[in-house]
Structures are given as structure tokens and as C-alpha cells.
Structure 1
């Protein structure tokens, strides 16, 4: 009787301890989610926008801002996934290493771009691959820590990774549904004239912390309902595994058709490597949904087992095609960052192809061998390799921009590509600081053709703009009144160098059919005439400086008012019936040397802006004093 009572008491204490652990885990996770939201709000608040200039600290330092952003965005997610699943010491060490590595890689990613304050400081590829590396690395550590072994049994890796994937998807969906409900509630309140909720959810100081709390709440709820997550995972794996049949038939049909269609159509797409690698990646994922944890009692039906083996054999020709196409493009056009990243993906894909191929062939050759057993070791090796490749790509070790610039410049200097075919735009706009340094070096090249092409490319406005050669074009200008000569010091031709302002505006004065009109007129009453040159849409003002050169202070544009001012500005200049109009409201100059120009509300003659001023309500009448008694 006493023993039974003691057992019951021990069981109760154990249950209370577990309940206490769950509450502590929930509190820690909610705290992490709230802190993440506050940290991200603080970062985004410092970034400049149209209402606040200059930026606040830490956005004044792009390197620091980028490092903090990547750490605050991803490290809390790692901690949320590790609380309750990793030993505290392991979690602290792993979190510290992950945060330090992310910050170091972010610093390099920002530094290699040569960024300005108004640029995006982290490249999208870096953010995506960082998330992939963290997911893989975390789920290599969790099973090993749980099993207290350097390499855990494969079912532990499968269970941890796929459970976390389902949990992540559900948590993101929960946070999205939370915000949909908030917007719905705000709309309901707005219907009855209450806007407080809509105003609240529009505040960043509310949005970021609440999103972090919602995500952390979802992680905790899905972690407590472990059986529910396993059920969702089982359904998802079952549905995806049957899609393996579809993808296997498509890949086999594609490969079988190639001998009859040839490879030209595939190479002509310009994206053959990406398409083939994406197909191989889809096969790898679907193969794993069918294989699952590899336990004999969890094997798929016979038709899926056959599909797994066939798909595993198809990976090799797909990866060979991808590598072949990639080598052809590199041989023709050299290295680019995209091709280097594709080569890295192909390397990881090749490991999968070899391992899965062996897993499919060995049971056919050696009777009694476990079905697709090599898949397990292949997945672990490929995971480690993928993390190592990502770290190399986004560090100085194998920086795609550095390798690409070196290869492209080497091809140019070796004569494999002529200066007129060389992609100077890549160096200027897509290869970061190292590309800009190489571009400046080419602009000072002793090869006259290379230097000239680089100087022309310097005038490009964006990546896809064409280099602008310096070509002098004759101006077509007729002076008014007839018989008057254009000032001798004014140029008869202009070089269109891609700049803006008067140089660009004079492009309208090169047509033989519609020459510009010009007239001398003293606009500022200083005793010296300015030169007014009119094309169809505007009048350009030129002033003769003390150095004998003509410069343009600005342009006159007509006001469009109910049919007035829509005519040809050259005809307006011909009438000789215009006069200067004094500016009633002068411009302003602030103490920080910023000029402010006055824009009148009345844009057209006879029009005025009506402003109805509502007088304030009269003060309430004072109550009459009570009558004296």
C-alpha cells in the first residue's frame, strides 16, 4: 500500500516536472520571438525612407547593419528550433558559432559589393543560401546531440529534418493567418467608424514584435502537438511520394527523346543547366519522400520502390547533361557568378547521382543487400558538402564575383574575346567592387581599343544600356530675326555623351526637317543677352560666361492650361511678343544650403485654388448666475 502511494507520488512529481519544463520552454520561445521582432523593428526604423533623411544608426554603417540584420533574422529561428531539443550547452555553442559565421559572411557580402547607403546591402542569393545552410547544419547537429553520437542513426536525421520542415511551414502559415485576421478585424471596425485597429497594425513598432510572437507561438504549439505534426508529415510524404511516378516518367521520356531531337534545342534555351539541375533536384526530393527513414516496416509499395530505383539511375544522365551544358557555356563565354553557383550545385548533384545510383544497382547485383541503403550515407555526405560549398561561395575562398572577373579579364587580354564583344557592363554593374576595380584598370589600358571601349561603357546608365560612343553631331539652329547670326562662340556641333540637361535636350536640334529656333534676349536685365534655343516642347537658356563658354542654367517649360501652351515653342519664340515675369514669391535657402523653390497653386490664368476656412466653434455660453436671494 505504501509502495503504491510512493509510486503514485513519484509519477505525479514527474508529470509536474514535465509540465514545468513545457512552461519554461514556452516562456523562452515567446521571449525569443518578442526580442526578434523588437530587434528587426529597431533595424528597419534606422533605414532611410522618403520621410526621414539621413539614416539613423546603425543604418549609417552598411556593414554593421547587414551583419545585424542577418543575425536577427535567422539566429532566433535557430534558437526557437533548438530550445527543448538541444542540450543548453550545445544550443549556446551552436548558436554562437552560427551567429559569428553569419555575421562574417554578411560582412564579406556587403564589402564585395562596394555599396552605398541607398543600396540593398545583402544580396538575395546570400540570404537564400544562408537559410539553406542553417537548415542543413541545424538538422545535422540535433540528431547527433540527441543520440550523444558524432553520427546518429539515419532515422533520427530523417525524423528531425522532415518534422522541422512541416513545423516551419505550419508556423509561417499561422503567422500569415494571424495577420489576415487582424486585417479582417480592422476592416470590420472601420465599417462602424473605428480606425484604431487599422492604425495600430500599420505601425512598425507593433507589426514586427507581434509577428515574432505569432511565429514563436506557432512553433511552441506545433512542438507540443507532436503527434499532430507527425500525422501531417505522413500525409504530405504519402502524397509527394506518388508524384515520384509522374516525375520519373517525365524525366525518362525526356532522356529517351534526346537521341531523336538532338541537343541543339536544349542548348538554345540559354538555361539548359538550370532546367536540368532543377529536374534532378525535384527527383532527389521525391525519392526521399518515398524512401523516408529506410526502416523495413516503412517501405513504400512495390511500384514506388521500382520508381525510386529508376529515378535514382536517371540522376546520372541528368547531371551529366547539366555539366556538359555548363562547360559549353563557360568555354564560349567564360565564368560568371551564375555559372559558378551552377557548377557548385552540379557538384553536390553529382554526389547524389553517384550515391543514389549505387544504391539502385547494388541490390540488383548482390542479392540480400538492403534496398537503397546507400541513400542514407549519400544524404549525410551531401548535406555536409552542401554546407561547405555554401560557406566557400559566400566567403573570399571561392567568391563567384572575384573568380568571374579574373576569368573574363584574362579572356579579354588573351584575345579570346574582342573589345567590341566584351561585356564591360558586367564589370560595372554586376561584379561588385572587384569588377569596378578591374573596369578602371581596363579604362587605363595601354591597348587603345580596350581603353576606348571602357570609356564608352563608362557612360552606360544601367546594366543593359548600350555603350555610348562619343560622336559629334551637327546642330540645326535658325537664328531670329532672320539674317541674325548664331554667336561665334556657340558650338556648331555637340557630342552626346549620355549626360542629362542641355546636352541631352539639344538632341532635338539635329533634325534637318525641324530645326530649332534661337533668339538673343536679355532675361536678367544685366546688359548682356542670353541665348534662347527653342525646340518643339521647351526653350533652353544659355549664358555666356567670363571664360568665353556657353553654359545652360535651365529650361523654360510651358504651363498646360485648357489648350493654352500646347503649341510649338519655336513658334512662340518667333512672335517676339514675350516678356519676363517677375517672381513674386522668392526661393528659399535653408541653413544646410538646401534650395527650396516656390510652386504656385494657381497653375493657369484665371484659375485659383479655393480654400474654405471653417471658423472655430464659438465658446460655450456661461451659465447665468443664480438669482440673488
Structure 2
């Protein structure tokens, strides 16, 4: 390969630009579908794979063009697409209708996205898999020449990072231009930068072009990589000194203080990641370390000795938490990461104790660990080792064995973090009759099932006082809370379900015949503000639907409350409703005065 220019020809360049254009169009259409809430965004079984494949596979294609034969590339893309489809289908099926981790607004018509963990781990695994596949293409060996793996993996990483930097620089320049034009009273560029059909394709095309441009100048990429590795390698002595000092101090102070932090596992695993990265910046392709400064060579060997100790401490901290609280999704993921860190530690310890003293055995260890990581991550995002399934089974076992009481059992973890498995477990617990305190278990399970979202930062949901039915002495129709299927269209709103069923939200209920048909309607009013509420109507056969919204115009809060409590509410004839060609036009009076009433 020429050191100044790649062998990539013009036709390959145009093919890469074409792939980037197709990706830009696909992602724009998916974005529009999500914002407009139309197909395929409303069908997660289609939206999830299209979205994840649309983000990743074109990048893999651009990276592979010019590096693989077209037939081999198509087979590789087919395999990756199949894996992504299977992962996204499992991610969709295990979900509980919640966008866990995205902090998106709640609503009956919201669009669901693949889980954040799937985004992160699939991106990391695709990078590793693509590096391994490109190296295999050159040598046709699954454990080929380590310098080739090193060169291709770091080259791809630098390309991806600098392509992202290129996008940032592109938009920074455009925003600067928009600001300059705005001083001349020209806002066309500002308008374009706020328009989705402009900024989404521009970002995607910029990324694809940057990948191609970096591939056209491999010497520049290699130079940036070498400079980055040299700078990072000189952080290795500092990291080794700090972590060695930490372990020596720990030996004298004892580990009790470490366990009391409750986040020791994550700090120790972060230290393992730092050591693995910095050791490899010094090791590089296996030949650089021989000519490095003596302090780097000794630091690398000492770091290899520290790594398994830190991994064992992380496993011990995790084991204490699991013994005390059982498995959870986060703990299982942390356990898999700790196992990977411990495997790295054993492999690097073996390399450090070798007679040659040059860590030569690290080369094979790095390649083997890459395959191990891929297998473990695939297992985690499949039914085989699904963290939600494993953790729910363990939590239920702890409840059945009496290791946790019915009062302290975390029902809300099952509802919001257990996915489909947690909801199915709650349904079983809602029918439980054999366990001690079965009545309490049924009540708590039913309460958790009725919740639609969890208050951020508040893991404990407190039960509110019972709602009041006005006028005093009134009763809800018997069929009202026996509505079949909590997800039936036009049934209880989220707030009303949390008030009437879960009793975690304050509300009051007015039973009133609103349309003079001889049957009462149910008006649920939000007690926290009295801005209004929802009106539910019996449409026949005991089926209730939400058919209206109550808008309150109030001058005196206390006077209104007293009147509702004593049954002084009456239906007042208002503006007539117009029916025009099958459509209805409703005239709503303007709000003259609106006052927030205290709870």
C-alpha cells in the first residue's frame, strides 16, 4: 500500500457516497415516521431492526468497500443484518411497553426505541466484529497476524472518531455562517439548520464522506494513531502508580471501607478498563514495546500484575451485593464485565510472568478476548442470558424462600426493570395464595401493575389516601373498575389509573348524569390542581370509555369543593353541538378565570 494514498479507486468512492445517500434517506424517513407516529415507527417489530440496521450497516458497508470482494461483503452484511434483526426482535418482545432509560415523555401514542444498552453494546460489538472480519479477509485465519489486527482496528477507530469530529466542525461552520447572515437580516441558513430534511441528510452524508476521505490517506490516519498512542502510553506509569498505591493502602486499611461505598464494583471495573487500554497503548502491535523506555516496559508488566487483583476485588464487591439483594439487571451486566476483566487479568498475568519479559503472549490473548466478548454480549441480549429474565427468576426465588419479606420485596423493580418477565411475574403474584402474607403480596403486585411510569429518582411509591366520591355517600358503578383489559382504547388515563387502582396519585370522583340519559357518568378530577379531569361513559355491556375532558373555571376553590361534596352540582345547558356531514363541531366557552386550588 502506498504510504501517501490508498489504493481505493474512484468507482469505490462513488459507491461509498451512494451508500451514504441511501443511509441519509432511510434515517430521514425513519425520523419522520417517528415524529409523525406512523408506520413503521408504530410497529416496533419493524422499526427496531430498520433503525439499528440503518444506523450501523451502511457504515460497515463503507468500511468494507475496497477492502473485501463484493460477494464476501454481501455475505458479511447478511450475517450482521440477521443478528441485528434477532437482537432487536428479542429486545422488542422482552419490553413492557416502556422506553426504559430514554426518559421520554409518557403518552399512549409514544414511539418506542431500542433500549440504550442494545445501542451501546451492539455498536461496540459491530466495531470489534468488523475489525476481526477485515483482518480475516487479509490472512484467511481466525487467529492471524496480530500486527494486522492492531493496524486495522485502530485505523477504523480513528476513522470513526475523526468522522464524528468532522460532523461537529461542519455544523459549527454552518452555525457561524447562519449568525453572520442573520446580521444582514437573512435567516435562510438558520431556517435550514432547523429543518429535518436538511440537517439529518447533511450529518449522515458528512459522516460517510469523512470515512471515505480518511481511507484515502492511510498515512495521515496512521500518523494520528501513532501520536495518540504515544501520548496515552505515557499515562500508564501514572495509572500504575495510583492503582498500586491504592492496593497497598487497601491492604493496610482493610476492605470494609471499600464495600461500604456501594459503588465499588463500578469504580474497580473502570480501573480495569483504564489499565487494559493503557497497557495496549504501550504494547501496540507487539514490536514497539521492545524499543520503549524502561519505565514503560516495567509499568506495563506491573499493570498486568495489578489487573487480576482489581478484577477479583470487583467480583467480590459484586458478590456481596448479590448475596444481600439478589441479582438485578445492572448486577448481571456488571458480572459479565467483571468476568471479562478477570479473563483479561489472567491472560495478561501469564504474559507478564513469561520468561521473555516482552508480553508477547498478549497478542493471542487480545484476539481471543475479542471473540469472548462477542459471545458474551450476544448471550446477554438473547434469551440465553437475558439480564431481566435471570434477575426476575432470582428475585422471585428470594421471595418464595423467605429471604426477603413481602413488605420489602421490590415490586416496582419487576414492573419497570423486569420487562415482559417482570410483568408476567407480577400477574402471577397478583393471584398468589400459597405464600405467607399472600394477601399483601396480591395487593402490592396489583398496585405495581397499575402504574404506567416511575417517578425519576423516587424508587418508593407512597400510597395516597383513598379517593373521595362526590356527592358524599355516592358509589362508583359496579362495572367501572372491572373494565376488561387495562390497555383497552379510551380507558383510564395514567393519572386516573394511579389514583383509582394504585392509589399513588390524588384525585376525586364525581358521579353525575351529564347527558340526561338516566345513567351516571364518572368524572375523575385531579385533586392536586383542579384544572380538570376526564369523563368516562358507559357505552353498554359494562364497557366504559373516556369520552371527554373536564375543564374547570373556578372563582373560589373552597366553595366549589363544599358544593361538590354536598351534591349541589347540576348539569347546565350550554352551547349546542353542530353535526355537519357526520362530523361534530363543539363550541367551548372561553376561560374567564382559572385559579390553582391547593390540594
Q: Deviations over 1:499-544 (max 9, x none)?
A: 169x9998799xxxxxxxx9x999999999999999997599999x
CA shift for structure 1 position 432: 0.9
Question: What corresponds to 1:94 in structure 2?
Answer: 76
Aligned length: 548
CA shift for structure 1 position 206: 2.5
Question: What corresponds to 2:364 in structure 1?
Answer: 377
2:447 counterpart of 1:452: no
Equivalent residues of 2:282, 2:288 under 8 A apart: no
Find the aligned partners of 1:471 and 1:529 in 2 and give their Cα distance: 25
Question: What corresponds to 1:434 in structure 2?
Answer: 421
CA shift for structure 1 position 62: 0.9
Of 401, 404, 413 in structure 2, the residue corresponding to residue 417 of structure 1 is 404
Equivalent residues of 1:532, 1:539 under 8 A apart: no
Question: What corresponds to 2:489 in structure 1?
Answer: none
Q: Deviations over 1:526-571 (max 9, x none)?
A: 999999999997599999x9xxxxxx99867345xxxxx3674369
SS in 2 for 1:499: helix
2:207 counterpart of 1:220: no
Assess, with a 3 A threshold, how the Cα gap between structure 1 residues 409 and 25 changes in structure 2: closer, same or farther: same
Question: What corresponds to 2:253 in structure 1?
Answer: 261
CA shift for structure 1 position 215: 0.9
Q: Deviations over 1:455-481 (max 9, x none)?
A: 333344534464566976899x9xxxx
Equivalent residues of 1:35, 1:209 under 8 A apart: no
2:578 counterpart of 1:583: no
Using the TM superposition, name which of 267-276 and 60-69 deviates more. 267-276
Question: What corresponds to 1:301 in structure 2?
Answer: 293
- 1:111-150 to 2 correspondences below 5 Å: 111-115=93-97, 118-150=110-142
Assess, with a 3 A threshold, how the Cα gap between structure 1 residues 583 and 240 changes in structure 2: closer, same or farther: same
SS in 1 for 2:66: coil
CA shift for structure 1 position 389: 0.6
Q: Deviations over 1:594-621 (max 9, x none)?
A: x87645557359xxxxxxxxxxxxxxxx
Find the aligned partners of 1:521 and 1:71 in 2 and give their Cα distance: 53
Q: Deviations over 1:181-225 (max 9, x none)?
A: 222222322332333333333332222222222111111111112
Find the aligned partners of 2:25 and 2:497 in 1 and give their Cα distance: 49
CA shift for structure 1 position 261: 2.9
Find the aligned partners of 2:552 and 2:389 in 1 and give their Cα distance: 48
Normalising by the residue count of structure 1, what TM-score does the alignment of the two structures yield?
Answer: 0.76
Question: What corresponds to 2:59 in structure 1?
Answer: 77
- Computed over aligned residues only, the root mean square deviation of the Cα atoms, in angstroms, reads 4.2
Question: What corresponds to 1:398 in structure 2?
Answer: 385
- 1:205-354 to 2 correspondences below 5 Å: 205-295=197-287, 299-354=291-346
2:559 counterpart of 1:569: yes
Give unpaired runs (5+ residues) of structure 1. Answer: 1-13, 478-485, 510-517, 546-551, 560-564, 606-629
Using the TM superposition, name which of 379-388 and 230-239 deviates more. 230-239
2:17 counterpart of 1:30: yes
Of 182, 191, 210 in structure 1, the residue corresponding to residue 183 of structure 2 is 191
Assess, with a 3 A threshold, how the Cα gap between structure 1 residues 466 and 457 changes in structure 2: closer, same or farther: farther
Find the aligned partners of 1:186 and 1:360 in 2 and give their Cα distance: 56
Compare relative contact order (CA 8 Å, sep 6+) and give the higher one, 1 or 2. 2
Assess, with a 3 A threshold, how the Cα gap between structure 1 residues 162 and 507 changes in structure 2: closer, same or farther: closer
Normalising by the residue count of structure 2, what TM-score does the alignment of the two structures yield?
Answer: 0.80
Find the aligned partners of 2:6 and 2:271 in 1 and give their Cα distance: 47
Question: What corresponds to 2:104 in structure 1?
Answer: none
Question: What corresponds to 1:106 in structure 2?
Answer: 88
Find the aligned partners of 2:54 and 2:523 in 1 and give their Cα distance: 58
Equivalent residues of 1:85, 1:142 under 8 A apart: yes
CA shift for structure 1 position 573: 5.7
Equivalent residues of 1:287, 1:311 under 8 A apart: yes
Find the aligned partners of 2:238 and 2:91 in 1 and give their Cα distance: 40
Equivalent residues of 2:27, 2:54 under 8 A apart: yes
Find the aligned partners of 2:283 and 2:344 in 1 and give their Cα distance: 14
Q: Deviations over 1:44-80 (max 9, x none)?
A: 1112x4xx4xx32222321111011111110111111
